[in-house]
Amino acid sequence: MFLEQFPLQNRSNGWIEVICGSMFSGKTEELIRRLRRAEFAHQELILFKPVIDKRYSDKNVVSHQGTEFNAVLIQESSEILVEVKNQKVVAIDEAQFFDDGLVAVVSELASRGIRVILAGLDMDYKGVPFGPMPSLLASAEYVTKVHAICVSCGNLAQFSNRLVAETDQVMLGAVEEYRPLCRSCFNKSLL
């Protein structure tokens, strides 16, 4: 169980939180949980998602479990700075799909005293670090790695194994296209 432990907070303290893991590990569920808590505390917030993510909704961020939260669709990370007004919490789902400029954008927001929460895959289907995630993980004050359960053996899974022949790094999908595997089962799948 992840316990949020933050420093004494005042309006000048901002920071970056990254929630990462494989497909089906609960990244988006955790992101929405944190947003619901901020909403309950009457903190102004805004959630962004990439335009390409239309799996469950054209507008909302939706977890694989069906939990939803209203979002602003953006193409490039620089659009975030234009959209953010007086919010004290800025969240970004599917961070791995954004350009490398995302790191500078979230650093700027944190420097303005904003709590920035990002969720994304840390590795692609080949087990390679994905998009801006390595740099985000390195610059974040708080990192939460969540795990799925390996569908082959039941151990903790940190790899997203692709089940279809598509070789592009970016391919949106769900249970028909991906499955979570532990390291041992992932390595066996490569043979």
Active-site residue list: 94
Residue/partner pairs of 61-66 with CB below 8 Å, 24 or more apart: 61/28, 61/31, 61/32, 61/93, 62/28, 63/26, 63/28, 63/29, 63/32, 64/24, 64/28, 64/174, 64/175, 65/29
Alpha-carbon distance 104 to 124, whole Å? 22
Going by C-alpha positions, the residue among 133, 121, 190 that lies closest to residue 160 is 121
